[in-house]
Amino acid sequence: MANDFYTGVYNPDVLSCIANLSNDEVFTPPDVANRMLDMLPQDLFTDPNTKFLDPATKSGVFLREIAKRLIVGLEPVYPDLQERIDHIFHEQLYGIAITELTSLLSRRSVYCSKYPNSIYSVSKFDSAQGNIRFKRMRHRWQDGKCMFCGASQKEYERDEVLESHAYELIHTTRPEEIFKMKFDVICGNPPYQLNTSDASKQAKPIYHLFVRQAKKLNPRYPTMIIPSRWFAGGMGLDSFRQEMMSDRNVRSITDFANAKDCFPQNSISGGVCYFLWDRDNAGPCRFINIIDGKEYSMERSLNEFPVLVRYNEAVSIVRKIAEKQEPSVADIVSPISPFGIPTKVRGSNIKSKIYSVPLHTSAGVSYIKPEEIIKGKDYLNSYKVLLSQTGAEHAGEPSKDGKFRVLTSTMKVLEPGEVCTHSYLVLGPLENAAIAESILDYIKTFFVRFLVLLAMTSIHLTKTTFLFVPMQDFSEKWTDEKLYAKYGLSDEEIAFIESMIKPMD
């Protein structure tokens, strides 16, 4: 039975079906797990002393695929199949499930039985958990937040029958005490974020906490698949971005700008990536882009720029722009919610002495009281350019032609005295209408929108997303042709820019 299960052909693969489910805790397709395992030195699978840990197992796919490799690799060491299986499952494979349900699913996938102490298990254990454990943890609250993961007490202090989402690996200061052993390889696909109860707030990333705890265990090779949003930081990821970009032990990153190239049924804003960290060998990183199934590879330093440039073909373009040492447009981009006016505010449809300030909303122009303007007085009495805070469509994924719609068509010049809601950012303050119109034309170019794309890791715009966009002399009109000539871009570089960006509506 064991031999058939691990060496047979599965069609369809139940784990591929499960991987099509949509959840913040994304299931990994077997082919993705195997591509990650392919990055490892393959002699690990011929060594009976190698120990593997999946610290956030859901379907058991990583442990199952590792088991299949070990069963082949250890045949010379343990010719007897049952002896080989017993050694692999008892001495080499370990998992920490994220929920009780996924612990059962993982054991069924790996041991062929939800309970490895049953007669149906391919390898008999004394306990009902085997080496795939689940321990219900509790958040530790301080000032309404969990000290370990930052979860909201209001949202996650729940009844015992509900999942707490207090994942074991990241809710301890001593992760080495979980199994009390050293691991050679830690691989997995951790939960990505915690939802919040307030719909106006973005979910809180937590995947970086798993990466940090995995490194704390000092394995030879951690490899995990995580969202790529850390490339640009933000949402509490700034320090993690700096750690990863300056860490020369990160030897390989495979990045999918369109997450559907990796998880066909999941929309993950900003894409996903998997990495390999090599404890004993530092050096440059092999950075791989996967675009429409094609692979583009380049060895480079991750910290060459303040934001990790995800497209290898874009590196030469950014270098040419950086040589000019010009200020960045990011310097004139407002903070989020430039006037402190919530999105839901609509104001009055009729202008009056009381409702005298023009307000731009997604529903059109209305009027509010001057006292409703909480901040942004520097922008209030000047010209500025308005643009939607939602800078891309379809979770930041490209359309069917592979091009990205960067910056929506809701861009326009606002006159002095006009304001907008939280849904928008503004560029300013600007001296006059002519300069404002010149900037508006500039940010509509392929050139600018491509540079914005390089720093976007979600559908939302911030100051950081304009980091690569250089300031110009806005007393003149800028076109793509003039910009390409100014920065000496080659025909290949121009073609790459225009292959990535959709024309403006």
Q: How many CB atoms lie within 10 A of CB 126?
A: 7
* Chain CA centroid to CA 422, Å: 24
pLDDT of amino acid 234: 77
The answer to whether 250 and 231 are in contact (CB under 8 A) is no
- Could you give the CA distance from residue 301 to residue 247 in angstroms, rounded to a whole number? 10
Question: What mean pLDDT is predicted for residues 134-155?
Answer: 91
pLDDT of amino acid 402: 78
pLDDT of amino acid 408: 84
Beta-carbon contacts of 131 under 8 Å, excluding residues fewer than 6 positions away, are 89, 90, 93, 94, 95, 125
- Could you give the CA distance from residue 61 to residue 34 in angstroms, rounded to a whole number? 9
Question: What mean pLDDT is predicted for residues 343-361?
Answer: 94
* Chain CA centroid to CA 439, Å: 31
Residue appearing with tokens 């920065």 = 487
Answer whether residue 370 shows pLDDT above 50: yes
**What secondary structure letter does DSSP report for 173?**
S
- Could you give the CA distance from residue 418 to residue 432 in angstroms, rounded to a whole number? 14
- pLDDT bucket at 394, cuts 50 / 70 / 90: low
pLDDT of amino acid 13: 55
- pLDDT bucket at 293, cuts 50 / 70 / 90: confident
- pLDDT bucket at 7, cuts 50 / 70 / 90: very low
Q: Which domains are delineated in the chain?
A: 1-137+172-189 (no CATH), 207-310 (3.40.50.150), 326-500 (3.90.220)
Question: What mean pLDDT is predicted for residues 305-328?
Answer: 95
Answer whether residue 245 shows pLDDT above 50: yes
- pLDDT bucket at 196, cuts 50 / 70 / 90: low
User: Of the candidates 144, 189, 142, which has an alpha carbon nearest to the alpha carbon of residue 169?
Assistant: 189
Model confidence pLDDT, tens digit, residues 38-60: 999 999 999 999 999 999 999 99
Answer whether residue 286 shows pLDDT above 80: yes
Pairing of strands 412-414, 383-388: antiparallel
pLDDT of amino acid 497: 97
- Could you give the CA distance from residue 303 to residue 243 in angstroms, rounded to a whole number? 10
**What secondary structure letter does DSSP report for 327?**
P
Answer whether residue 199 shows pLDDT above 80: no
- Could you give the CA distance from residue 263 to residue 22 in angstroms, rounded to a whole number? 10
Strand partners, 222: 186
Answer whether residue 255 shows pLDDT above 50: yes
pLDDT of amino acid 22: 37
Residue type, 240: F
pLDDT of amino acid 260: 87
Answer whether residue 17 shows pLDDT above 50: no
Instruction: Tell me the three state secondary structure of residue 185.
Output: strand
Answer whether residue 24 shows pLDDT above 80: no
**pTM (2 decimals)?**
0.84
Question: What mean pLDDT is predicted for residues 268-292?
Answer: 93
